Chain A
Amino acid sequence: MDKKRRSFLKKSAVGASAVAATSMFPSIWIKNSSLAYAAKGEVKVGVLFSLTGTTGIIEESLNKATIMAIEEINDSGGINGMKIVPVVEDPASDPATFAAKARKLVLNDKCVSVFGSYTSASRKAVLPVFEKRENLYWYPTLYEGRECSKNVIYTGAVPNQQQDEFVPWLVEKFGKRWYLIGSNYIYPKEENNYCKKLLEGLGCEVVAEEYVPLGHSEFASVVNKFKSLKPNVIFSTVVGDSVVALHRQYRAGGLDPETMPMASLTTSENEVAAMGGDAAAGHFTSAPYFMVWDSPENQKFVEAYRKRWGEDKVTHFVSEPSYFQVYMFKQAVEKLDPSDIAPDTIREATKGVEMVAPQGPVKIDPATLHTYLWPKIGVCKSDGQFEILQQSSEWLEPVPYKAYPNQQCTEEGLKEV
């Protein structure tokens, strides 16, 4: 055999084995795709919160709350005797990885529901697979509203729930000159759209509306504007590490929360722990849940959480929905015959589900799949906890399109009216 030919054969053999090696790697994961959703006394669910990356710290607390709820349910007999089996994935704070992992949970693991997401960006990234493959996503975070998907159960607050009582309360207590500051993305803009509508109705004046880049940490010029414009209320929808910087620099600038408080929709126990109680003391937050809320359910939740994950851990207004939504899932599945368990039947069964959550009794609105919640107003103390000043007199209906009277979310989807 001539040399050239031989060398070619060898090379193609190498090439072929390389091909074999790469195309072999899927076979490990090929599973029987005809499995029913609930088999062998197990119900499989996905848990999709980042454990690494920029939002890893906060999302890990959501993962922990979810896992704890699943463990509690399993320990007390599961769902009609069936165990909940969580499939935990780490989407690493990256929207593309979120999309990839969501596909795995829905298409490969055949999860019947997935609990996940903190940022809107990651929710938007996973939505296509849930909508096209008729699965169900449980989203625990407060968000900007204006979404009407029949494949998402929203257990966090929308703008009307956080603001309807908060804004008039602040106007009455502090005054009519408002400074709106937020991080530069869709959530703060939409919250401010709604806030401006409320303020207009109350005859208030917005002295400035400003957006800083995400992760911004230099607020000296902003603090100077606070000093020169002297607003009565600083309405903050700044998120993440910027919250810490803003509060510290406000305090360093010698401003006083007594006369010019910051009112926030995004500052929870978690952010306060990062900035230190001194910087946060005196500022206000509106949320359906605070760690200090006095109820038997919350006491149980906080105690169990600390026992399970560490005495220094805090619960907050996103980890609480992460916890109670698993129980809502349980209630919905309980109503179903095991052979009927599927994402669409669970969605139907979830409509109108009620339970007593740590924040109070909550209910899923059948039309919007959002949740009736109990907004509270808290003022931060120097020990890093909030003091609750007021709770709404009734559970508040979620209206994700409240700022847009010509649009309405219904069971059949978004309607123009």
Chain B
Amino acid sequence: MSAVIEKESELTINTGAKRFGNTTSQVITYALVCAAIFLVPSIIDDAYLLNKFSTYLIMGMLAIALSLSWGYAGILNLGQALSFGLGSYCMAMTLKLRTVPVHTGSEGLPDFMVWNNVETLPLIWQPFHSFTFAVLAGIFIPVLFSMLLGWFMFKGRVTGVYVAIITLAVLVVVNLLIIDQQRITGGFNGITDLATLEVFGFEFDAYGSSAYYLIAIFLTICLFLALAITKSKTGKIFQAIRDHEDRVRYFGYDVANYQVFAIGASAAIAGLAGMLYTIVMEFASPTFLGVKISLSIVIWCAVGGRHSLLGSMLGAIIIVGMQGSLSESETFLETWTLVMGFVFVIVVLFMPKGLAGAVESLILKIKSRNQE
């Protein structure tokens, strides 16, 4: 039966693996891009640019995460920033507990707790003395949270736009909770004044190549893991579910389980990205799990091409890069948001499948001309 469905999905969907050529060439293209990413620090030795590119790569990871759940499994998760934010808070909590005592208030209590008249370290903070726990929490809290949410939604056969609404609503609720529970979370200001990350005596300087390489390594791992998932049988079923959920169900697959897995895998990547973001930005803020960033991820994927992991990643890097350079240029200081809006309109009108789709149809065109 699985053979049938694989065939079915390849026939019905003219996207995904088939559209982007055979696996070998795809792997090589992905590897070349990653190699280029690793070469950047040897060409550019500038603290500011490395720090900036580090944040771009993290946004790229977020786009990969959404491409996996939206582009492949058809789950438009508008709450992707939730996983991102939870990851970033986990990292911030453990780094906060490592700051110099005098900055941290009496008896090692984080400064904002002292300001909020908290007397003892809350229970939820205790395990974050362990760095290993924090790293695991930064991945598994978002994963478990998303899977639980996914389980409720998909077992209840919630689909399409309702998934988007529910995920967005949950994001807003958690965001409000974090701002409100400032005794534990630092509220509106977030968790600031953090220690530098140090693992096995090695310091990750937010402005140096060490943090950049750390992020590049995790980006590569995530990109290839995600690629492996999309190439596996599970990945094929994701695409089949995206294109025709009911048919997959008639074949006897438990659609909900696959969807829960997709949203969980996507949350793992986003959570990891969040932890890295805290290392680079040196603080965690409730805006990290804001609606704005969540919607931005959707735009990056739309511009880059959500059916391609690499396309989405490059879409994020290009858009964030453009935003950065436009808002920095004097000419566009007051109009840069307008220019960005214009770019989105153009892309959506003329490249409905994003940059990846445009590149691919270009290749097809050249190929067919050569064959004539």
Residues of A within 8 A of B (CB): 4, 6-8, 10-12, 14-16, 18-19, 22-23, 25-26, 28-30, 33, 51-52, 88-90, 92, 94-96, 99-101, 103-104, 106-108, 120-121, 124-125, 127-129, 132-133, 144, 146, 184-186, 189-190, 193, 213-214, 413-416
Known: A51-B334, A52-B337. A11 touches B321 (CB 8 A): no
Q: How far is the CA of A186 from the CA of B337 in the complex (A)?
A: 31
Q: List 20 A-B contacts (CB under 8 A).
A: A4-B22, A11-B29, A16-B32, A22-B314, A22-B318, A25-B325, A51-B334, A107-B48, A107-B207, A108-B46, A124-B189, A125-B281, A125-B285, A128-B206, A184-B180, A186-B112, A186-B187, A189-B116, A190-B115, A213-B176
Do B49 and A108 touch across chains, with their CB atoms under 8 A apart? yes
Do B207 and A133 touch across chains, with their CB atoms under 8 A apart? yes
- B117 on the A face (CB < 8 A): yes
Known: A8-B25, A11-B21, A15-B33. A124 touches B193 (CB 8 A): yes
Known: A30-B44, A184-B180, A185-B182. A125 touches B29 (CB 8 A): no
Pick the contact of B25: A7, A19, A22, A92 (CB < 8 A). A7
Q: Which chain B residues numbered 172 to 209 have a C-beta less than 8 Å away from chain A?
A: 176, 179-180, 182, 187-190, 192-194, 206-207
Q: Range of interface residues on chain B?
A: 35 or more
Tally A-B pairs: CB < 8 A.
169
A-B complex: 8 closest residue pairs judged by Cβ atoms: A107-B48, A128-B282, A124-B192, A15-B29, A19-B36, A108-B48, A185-B188, A8-B25
Do A185 and B285 touch across chains, with their CB atoms under 8 A apart? no
Please, which residues of chain B bring their CB within 8 A of the CB of A104? 48, 52, 328
Pick the contact of A414: B102, B330, B334 (CB < 8 A). B102
Known: A89-B328, A103-B51. A185 touches B29 (CB 8 A): no
Known: A90-B333, A213-B180, A214-B188. A25 touches B51 (CB 8 A): no
Do A11 and B25 touch across chains, with their CB atoms under 8 A apart? yes
- B140 on the A face (CB < 8 A): no
Q: Which chain B residues numbered 116 to 160 have a C-beta less than 8 Å away from chain A?
A: 116-117
Determine the residue in chain B with the shortest Cβ distance to A144.
B115
Determine the residue in chain B with the shortest Cβ distance to A28.
B325
Please, which residues of chain A bring their CB within 8 A of the CB of B24? 8
Contacts A10-B363, A23-B43, A52-B337 known; 16 new A-B pairs at CB < 8 A: A11-B21, A14-B29, A14-B362, A14-B363, A51-B334, A90-B333, A95-B285, A96-B287, A100-B324, A103-B207, A107-B47, A107-B51, A185-B187, A186-B116, A189-B117, A414-B103
Q: How far is the CA of A390 from the CA of B6 in the complex (A)?
A: 82
Q: Which chain B residues numbered 73 to 107 have a C-beta less than 8 Å away from chain A?
A: 102-103, 106
Please, which residues of chain A bring their CB within 8 A of the CB of B25? 7-8, 11-12
Please, which residues of chain A bring their CB within 8 A of the CB of B40? 23
Q: Looking at A4, A18, A185, which has the most chain B CB atoms within 10 Å of its CB? A: A18
- B359 on the A face (CB < 8 A): yes
Q: How far is the CA of A95 from the CA of B282 in the complex (A)?
A: 11
Determine the residue in chain B with the shortest Cβ distance to A8.
B25
Pick the contact of B321: A7, A12, A25, A414 (CB < 8 A). A25
B38-82 interface mask toward A, CB cutoff 8 Å, 1 = contact, 0 = none?
011001101111011101000000000000000000000000000
Please, which residues of chain A bring their CB within 8 A of the CB of B47? 107, 133
- B288 on the A face (CB < 8 A): yes
Q: How far is the CA of A132 from the CA of B281 in the complex (A)?
A: 12
Do B28 and A8 touch across chains, with their CB atoms under 8 A apart? yes
| Least distance between A150 CB and chain B CB atoms (Å) | 13
Please, which residues of chain A bring their CB within 8 A of the CB of B112? 186
Do B328 and A132 touch across chains, with their CB atoms under 8 A apart? no
- B11 on the A face (CB < 8 A): no
Please, which residues of chain B bring their CB within 8 A of the CB of A146? 111, 115
Known: A96-B288, A107-B47, A186-B116. A124 touches B283 (CB 8 A): yes
- B1 on the A face (CB < 8 A): no
Known: A8-B28, A23-B36, A214-B179. A416 touches B102 (CB 8 A): yes
Q: How far is the CA of A169 from the CA of B271 in the complex (A)?
A: 52
- B317 on the A face (CB < 8 A): yes
Do B283 and A99 touch across chains, with their CB atoms under 8 A apart? yes
- B366 on the A face (CB < 8 A): yes
Q: Which chain B residues numbered 318 to 348 have a C-beta less than 8 Å away from chain A?
A: 318, 321, 324-325, 327-328, 330, 333-334, 336-337
